[in-house]
Structure 1
Amino acid sequence: MLLAGATSDAGRAVAGALIAAGARVVATGRDAARLEPLAELGAEPEVCDVTDEQQVADLAARLRERGIRFDGVLPLVGGWRGGGGLAGQTDEDYRALEASLTALRHVSRAFDADLRASDAGRLAIVSSVSVARPLAGGANYAAVKAGAEAWTRAVAQGFAKAARDAGTPLRAAAVIFRVKALADHEAALASAVAGLFAQDAAELNDTVLTLP
């Protein structure tokens, strides 16, 4: 499993749950020092800025040279900026938030072939309940999350089409997790991600799951 941008509390929680379940986890981050706690959990750290397309391509090449193929990809680049009503939705804040969508685009494209070739390929993202009910003070945030959801649903359609064209059962699935505030749901997210691989891809693909 690739955890992209994994140095947050959520990244550590998910890594711990996956490693406890016996998974091999590669964790990326821009700062080697911040990856050390993940290495202590048993993850394989890789310094990579996943908002940089070339760095992601280089990462994919390095891992393939080592014989590593992924069954799962979870981008965790995120953060919150908002407030001030619609007038407070600055371009600076939007560009900072947009990094999460950029990271998703890069890693999903770079490792798409891995997920399609897997017997249980999984792409998952963490979105927000604000997509369903956006507020003026969080318009930038909700817009970026809505874009990420649209991208993930497009990945899901690609998985389904590839399986249909090949005449094979659907084995890969793209899933959206929505939360109210990720800081309150790290354990729930970790459990949900670890459980993705035991579920049927056809039932899971292109679904939105709201975490309690």
Structure 2
Amino acid sequence: MRVVIAGAGSPAGNATASALRERGHEVIEIGPDECDLRDFAAVQALAERLGHVDGVIHLVGGWRGGGGLAGQSDEDWDWLQTMIVGTLRNTTRAFLDAIASSPAGRFAIVSQTGVAKPTAGNANYLAAKAAAETWLLAVGHALKDTPGRVHIERVMALYSDTDVEQNPDKDFSRQTHVTELGQRLANLFDPAE
């Protein structure tokens, strides 16, 4: 299968690409140098150029927040809604037909467990994540009469081997290692899923 990773190059993107390749899938890694996912016309052109794909895993985003509700700045909000929601809107609209026509078509995002119980210090971030989840569920509705499906993978936080090396005394037990996340996302493209 051909799977696009939007937001490639991060530890999560690299781990997901590795997990997919280990299972024999073709991985198309899209980072900022390959396409500006904030630009819908650019994403449309990318989708046309790539043609048939079976999956899009959206890993674009990042965290900004802290400082309680008063610390939720407009600058952070603009960045979060653009990177988390805007790029997701663009990729799902551009690749919708490809996913709808694939017998195993999948759109997937990674969200945060805090969406279910938001805090003031994470209000901007979690509002953007909740919007992304809602958007993806609406994409699922658009795919309801096709083989295409959507998937939301919620984690509390992600960590990598580098994080462990840099913070040897930190407790990562409640977080998800990027390798585990990559395996979970790769599972979406197994025949039994």
Q: Distance in 1 between matches of 2:47 and 2:150?
A: 20
User: Does 2:85 align with 1:83?
Assistant: no
Report 1:54-73 matches (<5 A): 54-64=41-51, 69-73=52-56
Report 1:106-121 matches (<5 A): 106-121=90-105
Q: Count matched residues.
A: 174
Where does the alignment leave 5 or more consecutive residues of structure 2 unmatched?
160-175
Aligned to 2:26: 24
Q: Distance in 2 between matches of 1:185 and 1:93?
A: 26
Query: Cα distance, 1:86 vs. partner?
Result: 0.2
Query: Cα distance, 1:199 vs. partner?
Result: 6.0
Q: Which amino acid counterpart does residue 175 of structure 1 have in structure 2?
A: H
Residue by residue, what CA displacement relative to the aligned partner does 1:94-152 show, whole Å, maximum 9, x if unpaired? Answer: 11111111111111111111111111001100000110010000000010000000011
Report 1:35-46 matches (<5 A): none
Q: Distance in 1 between matches of 2:24 and 2:5?
A: 15
Identity of aligned residues (%): 47
Q: Distance in 2 between matches of 1:127 and 1:92?
A: 21
The answer to whether the 8 Å contact 1:85/1:138 transfers is yes
Q: Distance in 1 between matches of 2:94 and 2:192?
A: 24
1:81 is paired with a residue whose SS is: coil
Aligned to 1:49: 36
Aligned to 2:117: 133
Aligned to 2:167: none
2:25 is paired with a residue whose SS is: coil
Question: Normalising to structure 1: TM-score of the pair?
Answer: 0.79
Aligned to 2:172: none
The answer to whether the 8 Å contact 1:71/1:121 transfers is yes
User: Does 2:144 align with 1:157?
Assistant: no
Query: Cα distance, 1:52 vs. partner?
Result: 1.2
| Between 147-156 and 175-184, the greater mean CA deviation after superposition | 175-184
Question: Normalising to structure 2: TM-score of the pair?
Answer: 0.86
Q: Distance in 1 between matches of 2:50 and 2:148?
A: 20
Residue by residue, what CA displacement relative to the aligned partner does 1:13-37 show, whole Å, maximum 9, x if unpaired? Answer: 0000101110011111113xxxxxx
Where does the alignment leave 5 or more consecutive residues of structure 1 unmatched?
32-46, 164-170, 202-212
Q: Which amino acid counterpart does residue 109 of structure 1 have in structure 2?
A: R
Query: Cα distance, 1:200 vs. partner?
Result: 5.9
The answer to whether the 8 Å contact 1:81/1:97 transfers is yes
